[in-house]
Amino acid sequence: MDTGQRHNNRGLKKAKNLFWYSDSEPNEVLIAFCHLVCLPLAITYDFKDAHWALMFFGIASGAFQLWAVLWSNCLRYRLLAVQAATLIAISTCVNMYMEDLLQGSNTGWIIILIFAIWNTIRVVKEKIEKSV
């Protein structure tokens, strides 16, 4: 095996370990902040007719996720929070797509969706490992 191939394998192994075993809590806080602050700003600025339900549930989801990560110290609440955050992220992307707004800087919401899904995978895995 040449040096380049070993280097690539090491990089892939590290990426796999980061995906499966790294701490998702900083990302959970980031997603919570995005839903609590950035989503209402984006909705009021970008949408012709503000989607009040999405804004309300985004704020509620963000506040719950912040509480679950920073204050509750309960894995069950974190799991509920990341699942809610994923639903909000999906709803945001779908609404932006339907309004033809999922372009330019708004494609950042797709990144938020990807991280919300990743957080859900990580917290589910953590819950399974602690149950065993």
- The pLDDT tens digits of the residues spanning 53-65 come to 999 999 999 999 9
pLDDT for residue 91 is more than 80: yes
pLDDT for residue 1 is more than 60: no
Cα separation of 100 and 98, whole Å? 5
Q: Rg of the Cα trace of the chain?
A: 17
For 25-73, the pLDDT digits (tens) are: 999 999 999 999 999 999 999 988 888 999 999 999 999 999 999 999 8
pLDDT at 19: 67
Over residues 61-87, the mean pLDDT reads 96
Cα separation of 118 and 99, whole Å? 26
Q: Record the pTM.
A: 0.85
